[in-house]
Amino acid sequence: MPFYWPYVAAFISPFLSAASAWALMRYTRSYAEGKEQRIAREKAEETWRQGRIDAEKALNDKINEVQKDRLEAKLTFEKDFAAITDILEESTEAHKLLAAIAADSKNHEKWLDRHDGDLDKLEQKLENMHNNILQLTRDHARNS
Protein backbone atom coordinates (compact mmCIF):
# COMPACT_ATOMS: atom_id res chain seq x y z
CA MET A 1 0.00 0.00 0.00
CA PRO A 2 1.44 3.42 -0.95
CA PHE A 3 2.45 5.86 1.76
CA TYR A 4 -0.23 8.44 0.79
CA TRP A 5 -3.17 6.03 1.00
CA PRO A 6 -4.32 7.17 4.49
CA TYR A 7 -4.53 10.75 3.22
CA VAL A 8 -6.41 9.79 0.05
CA ALA A 9 -8.78 7.51 1.95
CA ALA A 10 -9.54 10.27 4.45
CA PHE A 11 -10.28 12.61 1.56
CA ILE A 12 -12.34 10.19 -0.55
CA SER A 13 -14.29 8.64 2.32
CA PRO A 14 -16.77 11.55 2.80
CA PHE A 15 -17.49 11.63 -0.93
CA LEU A 16 -18.17 7.89 -1.03
CA SER A 17 -20.45 8.22 1.99
CA ALA A 18 -22.38 11.09 0.40
CA ALA A 19 -22.76 9.22 -2.90
CA SER A 20 -24.02 6.08 -1.21
CA ALA A 21 -26.45 8.11 0.95
CA TRP A 22 -27.79 9.89 -2.13
CA ALA A 23 -28.27 6.58 -4.00
CA LEU A 24 -30.00 5.06 -0.98
CA MET A 25 -32.30 8.09 -0.60
CA ARG A 26 -33.20 7.98 -4.25
CA TYR A 27 -33.95 4.29 -4.15
CA THR A 28 -35.95 4.60 -0.95
CA ARG A 29 -37.97 7.55 -2.26
CA SER A 30 -38.81 5.85 -5.52
CA TYR A 31 -39.77 2.68 -3.64
CA ALA A 32 -41.80 4.42 -0.95
CA GLU A 33 -43.39 7.00 -3.18
CA GLY A 34 -46.65 6.08 -4.83
CA LYS A 35 -47.62 6.95 -8.39
CA GLU A 36 -49.79 9.90 -7.34
CA GLN A 37 -47.08 11.26 -5.08
CA ARG A 38 -44.51 10.91 -7.86
CA ILE A 39 -46.75 12.76 -10.32
CA ALA A 40 -47.40 15.53 -7.77
CA ARG A 41 -43.66 15.80 -7.01
CA GLU A 42 -42.72 15.92 -10.70
CA LYS A 43 -45.40 18.55 -11.30
CA ALA A 44 -44.07 20.64 -8.40
CA GLU A 45 -40.52 20.27 -9.70
CA GLU A 46 -41.65 21.29 -13.20
CA THR A 47 -43.50 24.30 -11.75
CA TRP A 48 -40.38 25.25 -9.82
CA ARG A 49 -38.20 24.87 -12.93
CA GLN A 50 -40.64 26.96 -14.98
CA GLY A 51 -40.70 29.62 -12.28
CA ARG A 52 -36.91 29.68 -12.28
CA ILE A 53 -36.84 29.93 -16.08
CA ASP A 54 -39.39 32.76 -15.98
CA ALA A 55 -37.40 34.54 -13.28
CA GLU A 56 -34.19 34.20 -15.34
CA LYS A 57 -36.02 35.47 -18.42
CA ALA A 58 -37.39 38.46 -16.48
CA LEU A 59 -33.93 39.15 -15.07
CA ASN A 60 -32.36 38.96 -18.55
CA ASP A 61 -35.06 41.27 -19.93
CA LYS A 62 -34.37 43.74 -17.11
CA ILE A 63 -30.61 43.51 -17.74
CA ASN A 64 -31.16 44.12 -21.47
CA GLU A 65 -33.41 47.08 -20.70
CA VAL A 66 -30.83 48.56 -18.33
CA GLN A 67 -28.06 48.03 -20.90
CA LYS A 68 -30.22 49.69 -23.56
CA ASP A 69 -30.91 52.66 -21.27
CA ARG A 70 -27.20 52.86 -20.42
CA LEU A 71 -26.27 52.83 -24.12
CA GLU A 72 -28.83 55.56 -24.85
CA ALA A 73 -27.49 57.63 -21.96
CA LYS A 74 -23.93 57.11 -23.20
CA LEU A 75 -24.88 58.18 -26.73
CA THR A 76 -26.72 61.22 -25.37
CA PHE A 77 -23.70 62.08 -23.23
CA GLU A 78 -21.35 61.78 -26.21
CA LYS A 79 -23.66 63.95 -28.34
CA ASP A 80 -23.95 66.56 -25.58
CA PHE A 81 -20.21 66.44 -24.97
CA ALA A 82 -19.54 67.02 -28.68
CA ALA A 83 -21.98 69.94 -28.69
CA ILE A 84 -20.35 71.47 -25.61
CA THR A 85 -16.91 71.00 -27.17
CA ASP A 86 -18.09 72.79 -30.32
CA ILE A 87 -19.55 75.62 -28.24
CA LEU A 88 -16.29 75.95 -26.31
CA GLU A 89 -14.29 76.04 -29.55
CA GLU A 90 -16.61 78.71 -30.96
CA SER A 91 -16.32 80.64 -27.70
CA THR A 92 -12.53 80.44 -27.84
CA GLU A 93 -12.54 81.70 -31.44
CA ALA A 94 -14.92 84.50 -30.45
CA HIS A 95 -12.63 85.50 -27.57
CA LYS A 96 -9.65 85.56 -29.92
CA LEU A 97 -11.62 87.70 -32.37
CA LEU A 98 -12.70 90.06 -29.58
CA ALA A 99 -9.08 90.34 -28.42
CA ALA A 100 -8.02 91.19 -31.98
CA ILE A 101 -10.80 93.79 -32.27
CA ALA A 102 -9.79 95.30 -28.92
CA ALA A 103 -6.16 95.46 -30.07
CA ASP A 104 -7.24 97.09 -33.35
CA SER A 105 -9.41 99.51 -31.40
CA LYS A 106 -6.46 100.46 -29.19
CA ASN A 107 -4.31 100.90 -32.29
CA HIS A 108 -6.98 103.14 -33.84
CA GLU A 109 -7.22 105.13 -30.61
CA LYS A 110 -3.45 105.57 -30.60
CA TRP A 111 -3.59 106.61 -34.26
CA LEU A 112 -6.39 109.09 -33.48
CA ASP A 113 -4.48 110.42 -30.47
CA ARG A 114 -1.38 110.86 -32.64
CA HIS A 115 -3.27 112.60 -35.41
CA ASP A 116 -5.56 114.53 -33.09
CA GLY A 117 -2.70 116.91 -32.40
CA ASP A 118 -2.08 117.22 -36.14
CA LEU A 119 -5.77 117.96 -36.69
CA ASP A 120 -5.69 120.60 -33.94
CA LYS A 121 -2.68 122.22 -35.64
CA LEU A 122 -4.43 122.15 -39.01
CA GLU A 123 -7.57 123.61 -37.46
CA GLN A 124 -5.50 126.36 -35.86
CA LYS A 125 -3.83 127.11 -39.21
CA LEU A 126 -7.23 127.23 -40.94
CA GLU A 127 -8.52 129.57 -38.26
CA ASN A 128 -5.45 131.78 -38.66
CA MET A 129 -5.90 131.75 -42.43
CA HIS A 130 -9.59 132.63 -42.02
CA ASN A 131 -8.73 135.47 -39.66
CA ASN A 132 -6.07 136.71 -42.09
CA ILE A 133 -8.57 136.59 -44.96
CA LEU A 134 -11.10 138.50 -42.88
CA GLN A 135 -8.45 141.06 -41.97
CA LEU A 136 -7.43 141.38 -45.59
CA THR A 137 -11.08 141.77 -46.58
CA ARG A 138 -11.58 144.54 -44.00
CA ASP A 139 -8.36 146.22 -45.07
CA HIS A 140 -9.43 146.02 -48.69
CA ALA A 141 -12.89 147.36 -47.83
CA ARG A 142 -11.33 150.33 -45.95
CA ASN A 143 -8.91 151.10 -48.73
CA SER A 144 -11.43 150.98 -51.52
pLDDT digits (tens, 9 = 90+) for 61-80: 999 999 999 999 999 999 99
CA atoms within 13 A on the CB side of 4: 3
Please name the residues in contact with 33: beta carbons below 8 A apart, sequence gap of 6 or more. 41
| Mean pLDDT, the chain, integer | 86
41 contacts 33 by C-beta, under 8 angstroms: yes
What does the pLDDT look like over 108-143, one tens digit per residue? 888 777 777 788 888 888 999 999 888 888 888 888
* pTM for the full predicted model: 0.41
Confidence bin at 30 (pLDDT 50/70/90): low
- CA–CA separation, 65 vs 57, rounded Å? 12
Domain locations in the chain? 34-143
